[in-house]
Structure 1
């Protein structure tokens, strides 16, 4: 197996350098706060689609549609966050292996997960995203990068809403097969 090499995300190579009024340290701090959040967003997207594809049971249609909607919302947050990193002079996610280096949301490769357990896991993973967004928001604010903070507020709103919908949907759901 090939040895993993850390993908450099700051500063961008000369050909990709982007002018900014942020100091190099500020831009690097924001880049290092947002890129792991982007990796976790990809991981959550994949897990949500996994559960969407592998649902079974009496609530199939409702859960299938809900998880598809959530996956679309999650994926829609990647580009705005990635473009913010580029706009301040960093680089962002380059590959699946880069995602795996940075992600803290665990993959879910089980053959079968009960629908109630799927919802529980997605609630926890969205909660994790909320926590990471709040931390990245603090870094961006501290580095005077208020536009990144603004983008992160939209990501936060979506993650909190998904948690709410998943929680309300899961009420009364038996989490065992």
Structure 2
């Protein structure tokens, strides 16, 4: 048990560094918040991994479609970069720490790291289409947890992410058609 001197500043106010973490009372039970946060951690890892792959391909794309793909990949990695913060903040809103290291992301992500040797342009497109489909599947796998817990903010976030990833996968796949 903490002594009063350990938890109070000289002014008599509590020391935030010594306080126990406040458990959110938002109408979602502990087990549901944990399960949803775990699912969102996987989504965050997938999103960040896809961001890195897309940025890598933006830097390394070559060939006759260089300009178009370079610009498209920039739009895509920018969108992915802007998506990671809301996902991490939702995890925090649920009372859990968001993963943030490469080691954590590599354990949580369903995506493989980008190839060490950059593939040809159309192979990049195919890998990114597959990646967006995988992230959409991850988001979809978390949705029933959020829905069952009546967690509308997470359900809304997941719906938005599925929409973006499914549309982006479609736009990439059409580039692969003859």
CA distance in 1 between counterparts of 2:164 and 2:39 reads 19
> Any residues of structure 2 matched to 1:69-84 within 5 Å, and which?
69-84=75-90
The equivalent residue for 1:6 is none
Q: Does 1:62 align with 2:64?
A: no
The answer (yes or no) to whether the contact 1:18–1:86 under 8 Å persists in 2 is no
Q: In the TM superposition, what is the alpha-carbon distance from 1:17 to its structure 2 partner?
A: 4.2
The equivalent residue for 2:152 is 146
CA distance in 2 between counterparts of 1:98 and 1:34 reads 13
- Structure 1 unaligned segments of length 5 or more: list them: 1-12, 173-177
Moved more, 105-114 or 60-69: 105-114
Taking only aligned residues, the RMSD between alpha carbons, in angstroms, comes to 1.5
The equivalent residue for 2:59 is 53
Moved more, 33-42 or 136-145: 136-145
CA distance in 2 between counterparts of 1:63 and 1:114 reads 12
Structure 2 residue corresponding to 1:15, chosen from 6, 12, 21: 21
Offset from partner CA, 1:116-146 (integer Å, 9 cap, x none): 1111111111111111111111111112211
> Any residues of structure 2 matched to 1:9-158 within 5 Å, and which?
14-15=20-21, 17-158=23-164
1:156/1:62 CA distance change after superposition, 3 Å: same
The answer (yes or no) to whether the contact 2:132–2:165 under 8 Å persists in 1 is yes
1:20/1:44 CA distance change after superposition, 3 Å: same
SS of equivalent residue, structure 1 residue 15: coil
Taking CA–CA contacts closer than 8 Å with sequence separation of 6 or more, which of the two structures ends up with the larger relative contact order? 1
SS of equivalent residue, structure 2 residue 21: helix
Q: In the TM superposition, what is the alpha-carbon distance from 1:75 to its structure 2 partner?
A: 1.4
- Structure 2 unaligned segments of length 5 or more: list them: 1-18
TM-score normalised to structure 1 length:
0.85
CA distance in 2 between counterparts of 1:109 and 1:17 reads 41
The answer (yes or no) to whether the contact 2:24–2:94 under 8 Å persists in 1 is yes
Q: In the TM superposition, what is the alpha-carbon distance from 1:171 to its structure 2 partner?
A: 2.4
Structure 2 residue corresponding to 1:170, chosen from 154, 168, 176: 176
